Structure 1
Amino acid sequence: MGEEKDLMHNLISELRRGTLILSVLSQLSEAKYGYALVQSLEEKGVEIDPNTLYPLLRRLEKQGILTSQWDVGESKPRKYYSRTPMGDDIFRRLKEQWEQLSENMEQILREEEI
């Protein structure tokens, strides 16, 4: 039973991993710092570990999809991330792909029920 539970946990994690980029990009039309992004995603039912998020943010920034800016006006400096114009375009295109993929999967799964 424990092995099956571990297997299921791993499969669910793998399935969710494929949605993280789209989930993160969906929240960055306006600048957010990392912890606020984690909270925003968790409020919407998307769990993301900070140890997963921060490397992802750095990678997306390096790819030109995100930009960042430090805010040192508060007591604790925070790095805010937001989508670049290219990031907006990529988000729109990924969202279209997700909608098509989701529609296809719904159809496939409905066929299974028949």
Structure 2
Amino acid sequence: MATEDIALGQAQELRRGTVVLACLALLRKPQYGYALLETLNDAGVTVDGNTLYPLLRRLEKQGLLTSEWNTDESRPRKFYRVSPEGSRVRTSLVREWQDLVTSISRLTKENG
């Protein structure tokens, strides 16, 4: 396997865990799935619908998101929003993320 392929796979693993944090950060305001998908991709957090929609359902089942259907338009849409518990988890994950960035920055400078 080429180095480039290995690096690409490892980068994908690194990004996978960030999608939860990104969703919890973005869903302070209600959004429906497709709009969230576009916002994430535009921000450089690459994710596809086959990954995002199951993740949203899992986060809702865990109590981190709430959802409701908007049937005002011709096509019903399910809107997601962070729950109070999701806000607490987001705060904790942001702190963890910042600690990791600090640690990895220190390691890469020391061993650079």
Fold in common (TM above 0.5): yes
CA–CA distance in 2 between the matches of 1:82 and 1:70?
Answer: 12
Q: Unpaired segments of 5 or more residues in structure 2?
A: none
Q: How does 1:61-72 map to 2 (within 5 A)?
A: 61-72=60-71
Partner of residue 13, structure 2: 14
Percent identity between the aligned chains? 44
Number of equivalent positions: 112
Look up the SS of the partner of 1:70 in the other structure: strand
Partner of residue 95, structure 1: 94
Give the TM-score taking structure 1 as reference length: 0.93
Q: Unpaired segments of 5 or more residues in structure 1?
A: none
CA displacement 1:45-96 (0-9 Å, x = unmatched): 1111110000000000000000000001111110000000000010011101
CA–CA distance in 2 between the matches of 1:104 and 1:75?
Answer: 49
CA–CA distance in 2 between the matches of 1:110 and 1:6?
Answer: 25
Partner of residue 86, structure 1: 85
Q: How does 1:101-112 map to 2 (within 5 A)?
A: 101-112=100-111
1:23 Cα deviation (Å)?
A: 1.0
Give the TM-score taking structure 2 as reference length: 0.95
Moved over 4 A (4+): none
Q: Which amino acid is the alignment partner of residue 91 of structure 1?
A: R
